[in-house]
Amino acid sequence: MASLVEAQATASDAAHRMDAMYRYQRHIYDLTRKFYLFGRDRLLQLLPVEAGTPVLEMGCGTGRNLLKLGRMRPGAELHGMDISAEMLATARRMAGDRHVALAQATAQGLDAEALFGRPDFDVIYFSYVLSMIPDWQPAVERAWELLAPGGTLGIVDFADQANVAPWRRVILLNWLKLFSVHPRPEIQRGLMCRQGVARIEDVMDGYAYIILLKKPI
C-alpha cells in the first residue's frame, strides 16, 4: 500500500510540474519545437499504420503527431495519453471534431482498458518523451505490455550528440535542461539491446535516433 501511495504522489508531483511548465508554453509549443525535434515526421512515415490500425502515442503533448498521422493514414484509430492536463487541453482543441481518444495518465501506469476501452494496440510510439522521464525503463515496459503480438513500438529521441560540434552540444543540452529534457546514451543503448529490433535510423549524424521494435507473435 505504501509503495502505491508513493507512486501516486510521485505521479501527481510530475503532473503538476508539467502543467506549470506548459501552462503558457503550450500555445507556442509546436511553433518552437519544429526547430529542434527532428525526425518526428520520419518516425510517422515508418510506422506500419493503415485504416483501422489502433495506434497509441505515449506522451502526445499538443496532439501534433497524432493529427499529422491521421492526415497521413486516414482511418487509423488514434489514441494519445499525456501526464499534463494543460497539454491535453490544447490537444483536444487542436483535434476539434476529429476522432482522437485522449486521456491523462503516466506512461508507466497507463490503464488502457479503463481509459480507452481496449487492452492493446498494434502500434505504440514515443516521440521525444523518454529523455524527459528519469526512470524511463518502466515506461517502455508498459508500452511493450500494451503492444499486441506482432505490433510495432517506435521511438524517436535525442542521441548523445557525440558527433555534434562541442559548442552546439553545450547550447542544446543547456536549452533542453530548461524543459527537464536530459538526453542519455543509456536510453539508446538499452533500446538497441531489446528483443525485436527491426529498424534503427540515425537522424542528422548523431543528433537523434529512430528505433522500431517488433513484438513477436
In this prediction, residue 23 has a pLDDT band, given cuts at 50, 70 and 90, of: low
pLDDT tens, position by position, 185-195:
999 999 999 98
Q: What pLDDT sits at residue 69?
A: 97
Percentage of the chain lying above the pLDDT 90 cut: 66
Whichever domain contains 199, its CATH number is: 3.40.50.150
Helix extents (H) in the chain: 2-25, 29-33, 40-46, 64-72, 85-95, 112-116, 136-146, 166-177, 185-192
Phi, psi of 211 (to 5 degrees): -130, 135
12 has pLDDT over 80: no
**CA distance linking residue 29 with residue 35, whole number of Å:** 11
Confirm if 149 and 122 have CB atoms less than 8 A apart: no
Overall domain count for the chain: 1
Percentage of the chain lying above the pLDDT 70 cut: 84
Name the one residue in this structure whose C-alpha cell is 483501422: 52
**CA distance linking residue 129 with residue 125, whole number of Å:** 10
Structural domain boundaries, residue 207 = 2-214
Average pLDDT of 96-112? 94
74 has pLDDT over 70: yes
Q: What pLDDT sits at residue 27?
A: 53
Q: Share the mean pLDDT of the chain.
A: 87
